[in-house]
Chain A
Amino acid sequence: MSDLDTQTRDALAELLLAMADDEFVLGFWDSEWTGIAPILEEDVAMSSVSQDEIGHAKALYELLAGLTGDDADKIAFGRPAEAYRHAALMNHARTDWAFSIARRFLYEHADAVRLESLAASSYEPLADLAVKMRREETYHLLHFDLWLRRLAEGGEESHSRLRGAIEALWPDAQAVFAPLAGEARLVAARILPESLEALRARWLERVTERLQAVGLAVPPTAGSPEADGRTRRTDEFAWLHGEFTMVSGSEADATW
């Protein structure tokens, strides 16, 4: 598939950037738990997970860089805050443990659905990468499903914190499947084997089943995700952007 026309290539670049930014920004937020997670064993596990996400982001940025002739680090660190394309779900700080767990639960299942589909992508480098990423993500799914249950069944305070977090994040979680400008073209070329709306329906089914299994109400879903699901930004993200560009942006053209 080296003979992509310009418009298809642009559409593919948009998809890769969206996925890479999801992993990158979430990886940064959750790496803040390193050293201060509730228990030492979980500290080590959460660090692993956020390293996996940064590793996936790196692989996706590299794929994108190969497509556009750019540099992975430059894409990752060299853009103004408004040019990031992560889903609104990743706009928020890590907040408390319940919030971080709720977000990971919602995101891991969204990512799993996305990767399962992309494993059949007609764009081979992406299909190969999706297969590789799924191996690690399988562990993430088990880990965060377990945490969801622990917190849901961990007494009144724990349950209510978790419920609040799920409710707060629910609308922004839909944004992982917010429409992409070049989506129709990607689906037609079977680079994206299914529409994002179809993926969202599958995700909704899975998370609904799991939430109900642990006694959590599923918040109402207000139709399809908004078009700005990957472009609206928050002050919290602006702060994070300031942090992760502090060193890399401190000197032009320096090597780090």
Chain B
Amino acid sequence: MDDAARADTFYAHVSGGGKVEPDDWMPDDYRAAVLKFVEMHANSELMGVLPEREWILRAPTLRRKLALTSKVQDEVGHAQLLYRVAEDLGKSREQMLQDLIAGKTKFHNVFHYPTRSWADVGIIAWLVDAAAIVSQQALRDSSYAPYARTMKKICWEESVHIMHGRDVVLTLMNGTDAQRASVQDALDRWWGPLMQMHGPPTNPETDRDLIWKIKAKGNEQLRQEFLSIYVPRIRELGLVIPDPALAYDDEAGRWAYTEPDWDELRSVVTGHGPKSQERLEFRRDARATTQWVRDAIIGPVGTAAA
């Protein structure tokens, strides 16, 4: 069989729900697409550490301190697992980290924004993680089997984060006027990025990630699922979602909402978000100041597998 015929057979296999293992033959296009997808996910877990990390020192009770440190630790652990999945596809972790801090590869839009208050920590853990878990649950069916398996573990931990986040938010909503106001303020600021998070609707006929079942659901479907589960839960706490157009359309069977600002999304994920450069600089700096440690234990980069 020549490569073109092999590729046809391969794509018929994945489109039909078949799985791919790292040692299986796969077309270069598929390999590159999975790598790009997983690498961005890994980058997002690693960069997603920073908005919350800033508040680890400020967690207001012993219990919150434990929960927050544990959550951030999980994110680092997820990054580690995902970089390992990506590495098997042919790019070293070291190269991925260098590309990330050089701004050559992307990470999710929500991690480009500032964390202004303790209420933000609650909203991030509850709703950003909720929006993430909706897509991650779908990724448990990914055609790339190691990614699907990793997602199973990650989803379980994310569900713990959501409980922590909701508990932070609930406690604040049951607190003083100022505490309640801080949650509303956080929701007002995070709603836009949350609506953009799953990306603009794509054409299912041309979205290769979807056709090859690297991801199992389209962007709009994920956003709709997120809204269906979380809009009632947000309102139940007495919070007002800052979109007057948001309503469930019974006839269409879907949520209607104000068109998210897709220009903002494009601008943010290409490194022009309010905190993009500062966070990349922070990570560059952390890499540089700990380089001597990596040199000490694994030898200078280039002389050993990093």
Q: B72 to chain A: which residues have CB within 8 Å? A: 34-35, 47
A247 to B53, Cβ gap below 8 A?
no
Could you tell me the distance between the alpha carbons of A255 and B283 in the complex, rounded to whole angstroms? 34
Complex interface bits, A34-50 against B, C-beta within 8 A gives 1, otherwise 0: 11111111011001101
User: Is B144 close to A, CB under 8 A?
Assistant: no
B297 to A32, Cβ gap below 8 A?
no
Residue from B66, B73, B118, B293 in contact with A97 in the complex, judged by beta carbons closer than 8 Å: B293
Complex interface bits, B164-205 against A, C-beta within 8 A gives 1, otherwise 0: 000000011011101100000000000000000000000000
A38 to B76, Cβ gap below 8 A?
no
- With contacts A54-B69, A251-B178 taken as known, whether A37 is within 8 angstroms of B53 at the C-beta atoms is no
Complex interface bits, A45-60 against B, C-beta within 8 A gives 1, otherwise 0: 0011011001101100
The interface size of chain B toward A, counting residues with CB under 8 Å, comes to 45
User: Is A120 close to B, CB under 8 A?
Assistant: no
The secondary-structure label for the interface of chain A is helix
Of the listed stretches B10-18, B56-64, B148-156, chain A binds: B56-64
Residue from A34, A57, A150, A151 in contact with B62 in the complex, judged by beta carbons closer than 8 Å: A57
Q: Most A CB atoms within 10 A — which of B49, B93, B297?
A: B297
The interface size of chain A toward B, counting residues with CB under 8 Å, comes to 46
Q: A139 to chain B: which residues have CB within 8 Å? A: none
Q: What's the nearest-Cβ distance from chain A to residue B112, in Å?
A: 16
User: Is B127 close to A, CB under 8 A?
Assistant: no
Could you tell me the distance between the alpha carbons of A61 and B83 in the complex, rounded to whole angstroms? 39
A54 to B62, Cβ gap below 8 A?
yes
Query: Which residues, 233 to 255 on A, are CB-close (under 8 Å) to B?
Result: 240, 243-244, 246-248, 251, 254-255
Of the listed stretches B1-9, B227-235, B268-276, B284-292, chain A binds: B284-292
Q: What's the nearest-Cβ distance from chain A to residue B305, in Å?
A: 13
User: Is B79 close to A, CB under 8 A?
Assistant: yes
User: Is A205 close to B, CB under 8 A?
Assistant: no
Complex interface bits, B230-244 against A, C-beta within 8 A gives 1, otherwise 0: 000000000000000
B73 to A34, Cβ gap below 8 A?
yes
Q: A97 to chain B: which residues have CB within 8 Å? A: 290, 293
Q: 8 pairs across A/B with beta carbons < 8 Å?
A: A47-B69, A54-B66, A54-B69, A55-B66, A97-B290, A246-B58, A251-B179, A255-B175
Chain A positions within 8 Å of B, measured between CB atoms, are: 27-28, 31-32, 34-41, 43-44, 47-48, 50-51, 54-55, 57-58, 61, 72-73, 76-77, 96-97, 150-151, 154-155, 157-158, 161, 240, 243-244, 246-248, 251, 254-256
Chain B positions within 8 Å of A, measured between CB atoms, are: 49-50, 53, 55-66, 69-70, 72-73, 75-77, 79-80, 83, 93, 118, 171-172, 174-176, 178-179, 282-283, 286, 289-290, 292-297
